[in-house]
A and B are shown apart, each in its own frame.
Chain A
Amino acid sequence: MTVKTLAVFRKEAIDTLRDGRSIFAIFVFPFLLYPAMLLFISWMHMKEAEEAKALEVRVGVVGGATLPFLADSLAAISGVTPVPLDAPPASMETAGVNAVLVVPAGILESIARGDSARVQLLYKEADNKSSAAAGRVEPILDQVREALTVSWAQSHGAHTDAPPRLVVEMKDISLKSETGRYVAALLIPFLLMIMVAAGAMQTAIDATAGEKERSTLETLLATSASRTEILLGKCAAVLAAAITGAVTGVTGLWFTFAVVAKAFPTMSSPFELTIGPDKLIWLFLTLLPTAVFLTAVLVAIGCFARSMREGQTYATYVYMVATFLGLGSLGQQTPPLSRFFIPLLNTALLQREILTNSVQMLHAAAAVGVTAAAAAVMLTIAVRLFSNESVLFRT
């Protein structure tokens, strides 16, 4: 880096640090938005649960006489009013019920014969009240199953009033730290990608198209610094903003789950978001070529754009593509090698492998190599655009 490139870098860094929009996007956003989102989502869940409990629902029962305990069991559930019906209604709204439990006629005889039988709880998932009614009645279904099993057993000569307690279930035995690692592998590569893009966007467009729009470019071009020195200084400043954006983004995420969530016991997180320093270093090293690539793309766009508005429009498309490709980390299967040749996506996938201790050397080599090559090409294009007067002064 030459002295002049360093001078441009320093000036752009000062410029960025004094730009309220950049400061907000890089520093305030992660420490304000993430905790706010967590608090809001937790609050919404709590409110919904409270509201669902307080909801008064009417549950229609068809064939209730077959299983006499049903009416009492339903009536015992708070906020549930059983409504006897002769047949399943054509419309629950017309029948004035939110869900319907249907016990077919002659079901006891059917199971005694060894035929199959089906008891159904009809509801509408798309209707909040109906869905809440179904959720409230669901535990009764176990009692129905037990009663039918006892009836079948008695019809076959068994002397029993209750079936044996059998529990067949799936149980997640992950430690909180293991769940945390899984969540980190899903979220962090994606968040790093969007944070790098967001961090780079504002500074890149401001330092290039903004320089044109504010009529300061001409003065800069008349100095003895070469176009390459100027552009590399600008790229260095954009890169610094991008990396800072990514670092504050991850720190903000950690702050949200490790500090804010713990400060509110009702929102205790089901996982621990801990990443070792070795992994952090690898994440940073793998992110660097991607950050250079995104920086060069956004700076090239800024050089090409006639105004900040035009530059920001193009940059938004880049941001959307980065977000889309960053979503690649949300998958769970081992991706084929070909995906490690797609810039941005390859970094998200490689970082997922780093966080889940499943790095394949071929994947790593392809991801880093391809991204570094793409970054070099884009930097060359950016330098050429900045040296091309017909692009720089196009109207």
Chain B
Amino acid sequence: MIEVQKLLKTFHDRKRGEVAAVQDVSFVCQPGKVFGLLGRNGAGKTTTLRMLATILGPTSGTAKVAGHDIIQEPAAVRRAIGYLSGETKLYDRLTGRELLEYFGALASMGSSAIAARIEELRGPFGLGDFLDKRVGKMSTGMKQRLSISRVVFHDPQVLIFDEPTAGLDVIGARAVLSLIQDLKKKGRTVIYSTHIMTEAERICDEIAIIERGRILAQGTVESLLQRANQDSLEDVFVEVVGSVDGDR
């Protein structure tokens, strides 16, 4: 479960002074559900998710991830999460196996547990053909499968996906969405950021539309459609975000 309470994150900018990247963000994401953060580039999605993953610390407010406070117990939070960002890459000079062993060791798994887990994931994730190939020589599809294996390798309770389909082709994107649906069925808590409406509509149980660091609308897809009296999520998004643009 993820419980976010009034998260605020400000950065210092030489020209603009203190700039709020995320402000007053609160939401709850239940186990077995997918919570979507929908927003344009620079809206505050990545900063929010980085705070939940304890990569960044909040300026104020807090959150609990799998029952652990992100400020008080960051190490426990990181033990409970799997984090995948569309922008992040893998280590080109390691083989797939070495990469999984590395992240397994960083998740405090013993060598026998790591070996067993690799065997367990080898079939379902189709790693068999390229497990001992260096990452730098893998195709984009292979890298994507390896990335997904890395995220679920230590079987985390909470999964944080930051635009995980960015740069992927249709097949790759579909594999990611399929994984998320599987994780949801297994009762994992999933938070997912995207700016692609069809993806959000397809997999999210609840959605928050974020713009300029603030959540402007939040609810299930159906409730958002009803409230805005629109037929598609894209129309809802344009209406909500457009209202803020009009304030500029």
Contacts and interface: CB of A to CB of B under 8 A. Distances in A.
The answer on A and B forming one complex is: yes
Contacts of B83: 218-219, 222
Given A14-B98, A216-B89, A216-B90, A221 B107 contact: no
A224 B75 contact: yes
Contact of B94 (A3, A14, A220, A223): A14
Interface residues of B, number: 33
B85 interface: yes
A14 B81 contact: no
B53 interface: yes
Interface string A1-23: 00110111011001100110000
A7 B91 CA distance: 14
Interface in A170-215: 214-215
A65 B146 CA distance: 95
A219 B56 contact: no
A18 B98 CA distance: 13
Contacts of B90: 216
Contacts of A51: none
Contacts, number: 74
Chain A contact residues: helix, strand, loop or mixed:
helix
B105 A219 contact: no
A389 B56 CA distance: 6
Contacts of B27: none
B89 A18 contact: no
Among A8, A11, A390, residue most surrounded by chain B Cβ atoms (within 10 Å): A11
Contacts of A40: none
B106 A223 contact: yes
Contacts of B50: 218
B102 interface: yes
Interface string B32-53: 0000000000000000001001
Among B11, B75, B90, B105, residue most surrounded by chain A Cβ atoms (within 10 Å): B105
B91 A218 contact: no
B185 interface: no
B63 to A, nearest CB: 15
Among B84, B93, B94, residue most surrounded by chain A Cβ atoms (within 10 Å): B93
A225 interface: yes
Nearest to A233: B106
B179 interface: no
A84 to B, nearest CB: 76
A393 interface: yes
Among B53, B91, B106, B107, residue most surrounded by chain A Cβ atoms (within 10 Å): B106
Contacts of B57: 389
A226 interface: yes
A4 B108 contact: yes
Interface size bracket, A side? 20 to 34
A224 B84 CA distance: 14
A19 B93 contact: yes
B105 A218 contact: no
B12 interface: yes
Given A15-B93, A18-B93, A222-B83, A216 B108 contact: no
Contact of B91 (A3, A10, A15, A224): A15
B55 interface: yes
Nearest to B89: A215
B180 to A, nearest CB: 17
Contacts of A390: 11-12
Contacts of A218: 50, 55, 83, 85, 87-88
Contacts of A220: 106
Nearest to B103: A223
A19 B91 CA distance: 12
26 contacts: A3-B108, A4-B105, A4-B108, A8-B106, A10-B105, A14-B93, A14-B94, A15-B94, A18-B93, A19-B93, A214-B91, A215-B87, A216-B90, A216-B91, A218-B50, A218-B55, A218-B85, A219-B84, A220-B106, A221-B53, A221-B55, A222-B53, A222-B54, A222-B81, A225-B106, A393-B56
Give the top 9 A-B pairs by smallest Cβ distance, nearest first: A7-B105, A222-B83, A223-B106, A18-B93, A224-B79, A224-B78, A222-B53, A215-B89, A225-B106
Interface of A: 3-4, 6-8, 10-11, 14-15, 18-19, 214-216, 218-226, 389-390, 393
Interface of B: 11-12, 50, 53-57, 75, 78-79, 81, 83-85, 87-94, 98, 102-103, 105-108, 134, 150, 160
